Amino acid sequence: MVRQYITLAVVALLAYSIFPVLVNIAVREIPASVIVFIASVLLGSAALGLSLLGEAVLSYLTDPYAAYVYVTGLFLTVGILSYYRALASGPVSIVTPIFGMFLVGTSVLSVVFLEESLTHQQVAGIGLAVIAVYLVATG
């Protein structure tokens, strides 16, 4: 039986594979900041609806860990705005692999700050990912 997180990761993979292409088409007529706004309203509405169905949202606003959520929002905002503007001004085939390097950054940060283990195989994978992105972005 496939674990739920694997299924969700595959759904995310598919969605993240499709949306940059759609953004690149949309920015031909619509400014990137407007696309970000509309997409964020849709995302925010869906997240709010799901949260209200299953969680007491207001009680978490002052939780000791809420500061991490607020800082997360800042980084997510910078990342999304930068990504959409990059998609508006450059080829998807170059922008997306460079953006995808966040996976390498996250892996390194999880070892440093979350004390997760790092195997030789993972180090090799990270190295190959860096090489792959370089080849795709410069080819």
**What pTM was computed for the model?**
0.79
pLDDT at 86 over 90: yes
- If asked whether residues 87 and 105 sit together in one domain, one would say no
In tens, the pLDDT along 93-127 reads 899 999 989 988 998 999 999 999 999 999 999 99
Orientation angle between helical segments 102-113 and 120-138, nearest 10 degrees: 150
- If asked whether residues 19 and 63 sit together in one domain, one would say yes
- If asked whether residues 113 and 81 sit together in one domain, one would say no
- If asked whether residues 10 and 42 sit together in one domain, one would say yes
CA distance linking residue 16 with residue 31, whole number of Å: 20
3-state class (DSSP) for residue 62: coil
Q: Which of 51, 73, 91 is the last residue of a domain?
A: 91
Query: Got the DSSP string for 67-117?
Result: HHHHHHHHHHHHHHHHHHHHHHHS-HHHHHHHHHTHHHHHHHHHHHHS---
CA distance linking residue 108 with residue 92, whole number of Å: 25
Domain interval for residue 123: 101-139
Q: Which of 70, 91, 112 is the last residue of a domain?
A: 91
* Residue for token pair 């990137």: 32
**According to the model, what pLDDT value does residue 60 have?**
85
Quick one: pLDDT band at residue 90, thresholds 50, 70, 90? Answer: very high
**According to the model, what pLDDT value does residue 52 have?**
83
Q: What total of structural domains would you count in the chain?
A: 2
Residue 14 lies in a domain: yes
In tens, the pLDDT along 7-36 reads 988 898 899 889 899 999 999 999 999 999
